[in-house]
Each structure stands twice: as C-alpha cells, then as structure tokens.
Amino acid sequence: MNHLQQECWVLNAGLIRYTASLELQRRLVAARKSGAVPDVLVFCEHPHVITLGRNGKLEHLRAGNHLLDQMNVEFQPADRGGDITYHGPGQTVGYPILDLVQHRRDVRWYVEQLEEVMIRATADFCVRAGRAEGRHGIWVESDAGEEKLAALGVRLSRWITSHGFAYNVSTDLRYFDLIVPCGIADRRATSLERILGRTIRGEDVRRRLAFHFGEVFEREILFVTIRQLEEALAGGNLPPGLFENTHARAHAEAIKETRA
C-alpha cells in the first residue's frame, strides 16, 4: 500500500445543510475513485432535517408539511439504504468515504464495522451498547426496553462508500416524534446525554469515534481542515506529512481522561 491507502483523513465540517453534505460527499466519492484522496471520514451536524432512504416508507413520516414548516424541519429524500430518520443539532453525523476494495468487499461486514466503532466509542463513556438482531445501528437497554442510540444508512458506488451513521449526543429527542424512527414503531431513540444525565461535548465524542474508526479499519487518522481538503480536491494528492498526525494523541487523551 502507498501512504494514501494507509491513511484516513478526518474532517469536522461543523453545522452544514443536508444538501451541502450531499454535494461534499459526491465530490469526495469522485476523488476517492480517482485516487486523489485516501479514505475520508467527514463529521458534521445538520440543521433539523428528516431524510427518507431508498427503501423507506412515506407513511413513517408522522408530520404534515404545515407542522414541518412550523418547526423549521426540512424533508429530503436520500439515496442511501434504510428507512426514515431525523438529523439535527447535537447529533454527530459521520460520512465515511472509503474504498472497500482496500478493506473488504462485503457490505454486511462494513456495516458491522461501523457499528463496532460506535459500540467502542460508547464504552469509553462507560455505557454498554450493542447490536439488535435484524436491525442496524446501536442500541442500549433501559427500563423502557431497547432504545436506539445511533442509526445507520449507507450507499456504495463501485465499492466506494458514502452516507453513514448518526450518533445522538445531545439531540433534542422530541423531533423523533415526527417520524417512526427507522420504521420501528415500538422502539424509541435516546441520546448519550440522556443516558448519562449530564452534559457531553460533541468534540469528546468525535475524538473517540475517530480513534476507534482508525483502530477498527486499521488506518492512520489524520485530521484535516476544509481548506486542506479543498486543496486536495482541486490540485490532486498533497504530499505526505502535511497534515498533523493526531492518532496517537487521540489515543493518549482517551486513556488519560477520566472515563464518564
């Protein structure tokens, strides 16, 4: 493998509209296909938006246009797998742009690896999460039964991945009442803050997700800025060593900090 094949660039894009994230993913998928960039993991948050996957059912949207307008919630179709979901502030969204030819050409394996990343990151906060048979995402047990902490919905094009996962950190869970989350009527969503009963910084969660992403997918994590990424997309490969390698630092901080 060359140095690009061994790396994964991580970008924190901040709060961006869902449609802007689609355009960013489109550009990154094209760049990954051409080999202009290595694997990339984009973190972001979205303003309130409900998205419906290719196999989703519109009847799982419980709100009409008038209510959505009143609550300032967009509705967008999505070219990903999965059903209906909500994105909003306080939710960490991860969009991995990976070449599975360099990993393993197996969609089920890929989804399970994403779940493993989130399970390990959640464990760093002393919360036990796991999988549920027949359902994607990660789940936690509560007095009310299984609750969904994170959702998944992916797309592949010539083994290049896009879309990804949505992890509820401090999400306003009332917005999930507008939908049947992931089409499962008898299960509700939860958040890390709700589970722990205290404030959690999104940056802390992103750092742990990034570390475990590198660990699970066996890639060196390199954090980049949007300017650096734009330069790579405009001018082809950037020289190795340009970006700060924070993989070891993220690991050290994850161990050093007092666990929640």
For the whole model, what pTM was predicted?
0.88
Predicted pLDDT of residue 92: 98
Q: Is 241's pLDDT higher than 50?
A: no
- Amino acid at the residue 171: T
Q: How confident is the model at residue 185 (pLDDT cuts 50, 70, 90)?
A: low
- Amino acid at the residue 76: Q
**Annotated catalytic residue: which of 8, 44, 126, 182?**
182
DSSP result, 151-217: EEEEEEETTEEEEEEEEESS--GGGGGGB-GGG-TT-EE--HHHHHTS---HHHHHHHHHHHHHHHH
Give the span between the Cα atoms of 131 and 112, in whole angstroms: 9
Q: How confident is the model at residue 180 (pLDDT cuts 50, 70, 90)?
A: confident
Q: How confident is the model at residue 58 (pLDDT cuts 50, 70, 90)?
A: confident
Domain ranges of the chain: 12-28+44-210
153 within 8 A of 163, measured Cβ to Cβ? yes
45 within 8 A of 92, measured Cβ to Cβ? yes
pLDDT digit string (tens) for 120-178? Answer: 999 999 999 999 888 889 999 988 789 999 999 999 999 999 999 999 999 999 999 99
Cβ burial, residue 109 (10 Å; 0-12/13-18/19+): exposed
Fold classification of 12-28+44-210 (topology level): BirA Bifunctional Protein; domain 2 (3.30.930)
Predicted pLDDT of residue 135: 84
* Residue 126 falls in the annotated catalytic set: no
Give the span between the Cα atoms of 246 and 251, in whole angstroms: 8
23 within 8 A of 51, measured Cβ to Cβ? no
pLDDT digit string (tens) for 1-26? Answer: 555 669 999 999 999 999 999 999 99
The mean pLDDT of 101-119, rounded to a whole number, is: 97
